[in-house]
Structure 1
């Protein structure tokens, strides 16, 4: 019987990094927020951030997705309000002109108005 040396332990390399369960959701949240799906990006970002917190990890992607989502949402709301206010002013001005001119087609200072 020969005494064979025990097999050498397999080299496993560097220790594995801790798993961050919310990282993928954080990346998805950031992408959604950037492409304009702000509300969905915010929701997914909060879900990813909570998953990471439960695992004791930080999640910069989720936080960035939440911030970009909120900034985009606020800018979008401002743009919509501006467009609605501009449209109301435009149509309100037309109603005032038609009230003064009466119904028919009118040309005033090179501008044609069609009033019902």
Structure 2
């Protein structure tokens, strides 16, 4: 009876002979490791082609210098117009030096300057109203004299 796992050899080995050597397998491929003291100019030889050199100029998806600062300036110009105006100018200068347009920075400059003018007008109006009110109080005190007085509208004024 023959074993299906180990079929009988057609010719049994002679007594005292050496069994045949196992079949030879190919050695695993050698991996190229960088030499320890190899000069940088000599690349390691391998079977693979080298990568192409990078293209000249800036890559297509490179960030525009000053764009992030332009967005920040745009947002800040709503709350602090002078700071937004300054940041917008800085962002626009950075972008122009790199040869790019920056709409965020331009919008921040426009909004910052408009809000700054509006702020100046409001401050001037409030100061003039406060000065007019102080002049009216001084005139009232000059007419009635020192002490605590109540006006016809129910306002209590203390004159020195």
Q: TM-score over 0.5 for the alignment?
A: yes
1:77 to 97, 120, 133: 120
Going from structure 1 to structure 2, the CA distance change for 1:79 and 1:110 (only over 3 Å counts) comes to closer
Q: How many residues align?
A: 104
Going from structure 1 to structure 2, the CA distance change for 1:107 and 1:40 (only over 3 Å counts) comes to closer
| Structure 2 residue matching 1:26: 3-state secondary structure | helix
Alpha-carbon separation, structure 2, partners of 1:19 and 1:107: 67
Deviation for aligned residue 1:108: 4.0
1:93 to 136, 140, 153: 136
Task: Give the aligned partner of residue 38 of structure 1.
Answer: 81
User: How high is the TM-score relative to the length of structure 1?
Assistant: 0.79
Gaps of 5+ in 2: 1-47, 52-58
User: How high is the TM-score relative to the length of structure 2?
Assistant: 0.59
Task: Give the aligned partner of residue 71 of structure 2.
Answer: 27
Task: Give the aligned partner of residue 58 of structure 1.
Answer: 101
| Structure 2 residue matching 1:21: 3-state secondary structure | coil
- Map Cα deviations across residues 12-66 of structure 1 (whole Å, 9 max, x no partner): xxx72353111011001101102x1111111111111011111111000000011
Gaps of 5+ in 1: 1-5, 10-14
CA RMSD across the alignment: 1.9
Tell me if 1:104 matches 2:147.
yes
Alpha-carbon separation, structure 1, partners of 2:84 and 2:94: 15
Alpha-carbon separation, structure 2, partners of 1:37 and 1:65: 11
Alpha-carbon separation, structure 2, partners of 1:21 and 1:64: 16
